Amino acid sequence: MNTRKVAAEYRLAHWTKIMRRKRESGLSAKAFCENEGIHENVYYYWQQKLREATCEQMAEMQNEQVQKKLVPSGFAELKIVEAYEPPTLPENTAQGEIRIDIAGIRIAADSTYPSDKLAALLGLFKPPC
């Protein structure tokens, strides 16, 4: 057992409770510290320590999520279906025609439609970053 680590976690938990009480009190840091008998510099020291610890935890969580992520960003997971049945097209669909349904909007174009315009049109459906 690492006693230093346990002691550090205990102090962080203790100061987390103090910071929570300060926030719930609605007082300024100076007024809260005066009421609690805490030196203001000590209060700000532990506030910084808690922020650093929180940032470290968030970074660790992000690293874990990235490692667990099976599908890289920008790719979509495809599931293989046992028996593939091609979709049936309406009888009025011309050969060489493409139909795209996005969020309830249907886009249809034939092979003569300029590809740069189709790409620009599809670019409108990219999610905002």
How confident is the prediction along the chain (129 residues), in pLDDT tens digits per residue? 688 888 988 999 999 999 999 999 999 999 999 999 999 999 999 999 999 988 888 888 877 766 666 555 666 666 666 665 655 656 665 566 777 776 667 777 777 777 787 777 777 766 554
* Domain ranges (residues) in the chain: 3-68
The pTM assigned to this predicted structure is: 0.48
Alpha-carbon span 32 to 86, nearest angstrom: 69
